[in-house]
Amino acid sequence: MSVAIFILLMSSLGIRAYRDLSRPEAWAYWKDLYFSPSMTSLLLASSDLGGSGHSRPALGISGTIGAASASWFRERLDEAHLVAGDVVLLSSPGGDLNQAMIMGEVIRSRGLSTAVGAADSAGRVTPAYCASACVLVFAGGKPRLGIDGSMLGVHRFVTPAPGRDPVADTQRTAGMVLSYMTKMGVSSTVVEAMSETREVRWLGAREASAMNLITEPIHRP
């Protein structure tokens, strides 16, 4: 009898797990976290950010922000043992908006800096780009370093959902992004720039600094 009960219990759990994983969003999460992460990372013992004296340990992350990128990112930070003032280097075309905001919150809670760039194993940093949802991750840094040649790209966020009003959804998303950016100390003008176009608008270093998106420009020698 106990064996039969055990078999029934395991069958019930198996069916429940199958139902959970059969949902597209659930499968996307597990795939991104365990099987095929959409982002990659590189730990740098020392990063040379333009030869300007900003030589700190850094974690470089690149790729599309996926359904489980926040959990993946938190694990990479735990492994890296970064401390306040260390750097997260970003190179990404964007991706999942909610995951990006969580990643930004994690960065802020740990007192980490952010910069847009790509690095090799020797710690040499080259310009890169951070667009769409990646900008929200960048906003979590304090300070937010601006490397010459790197680019920040913004656009209007659209979150279509079947049976829902797309205009109301877009306004709701804009409000959520505005609240997040305000919390991170970024000017509301960056959200205005986002709302103006569905195509990526690339911000120059001077414009990004005026929006308080970049707080500490780094000029390469």
User: What is the per-residue pLDDT for 18?
Assistant: 42
Q: Are 139 and 180 in contact (CB under 8 A)?
A: yes
Q: What is the pLDDT of residue 34?
A: 82
For the residues 33-43, what does the mean pLDDT come to? 91
Phi and psi at 207, nearest 5°, equal -65, -45
Q: Are residues 16 and 104 in the same domain?
A: no
Tokens at residue 159, please?
Answer: 């979150």
What are residue 153's DSSP bridge partners?
Answer: 131, 202
Is 97 in the same domain as 200? yes
Indicate if 133 and 188 belong to the same structural domain.
yes
Determine the pLDDT at residue 15: 43
Do residues 119 and 178 both lie within one domain? yes
Q: How far is CA 107 from CA 43, 85, 104, 184, in A?
A: 16, 10, 5, 11
CATH number of the domain at 130, please. Answer: 3.90.226.10
Question: Can you give the residue range of the structural domain that contains 201?
Answer: 37-218
Give yes or no: residues 187 and 117 share one domain: yes
Candidate ranges 47-51, 108-112, 121-125, 126-130; pick with highest mean pLDDT? 108-112
Which H or E run contains 178?
Answer: helix 166-183
Residue 145 phi, psi dihedral angles, 5° rounding? -85, 135
pTM (2 d.p.) = 0.85
For the chain, what is the domain count?
A: 2
Buried b (16+ CB within 10 A) or exposed e, 119-139: beeebebeebbbbbbbbbbbb
What's the rounded Cα separation, in Å, for the pair 133 and 192?
15
Same domain, 214 and 146: yes
**Do 43 and 21 share a structural domain?**
no
Residues 93 and 4 in one domain: no
Co-location of 80 and 142 in the same domain: yes
- Express each pLDDT in 129-139 by its tens digit: 999 999 999 99
pLDDT tens digits along 58-108 = 999 999 999 999 999 999 999 999 999 999 999 999 999 999 999 999 999
Mean pLDDT of the 179-204 span: 94
Each residue of 122-179: pLDDT tens digit? Answer: 778 889 999 999 999 999 999 999 998 999 999 998 766 666 777 788 788 889 999 9
Same domain (yes/no): 108, 32: no
Could you give the CA distance from residue 147 to residue 160 in angstroms, rounded to a whole number? Answer: 34
Asked if 43 and 28 sit in the same domain, the reply is: no
Considering the domain architecture, whether residues 19 and 104 belong to the same structural domain is answered as no
Mean pLDDT of 109-119: 95
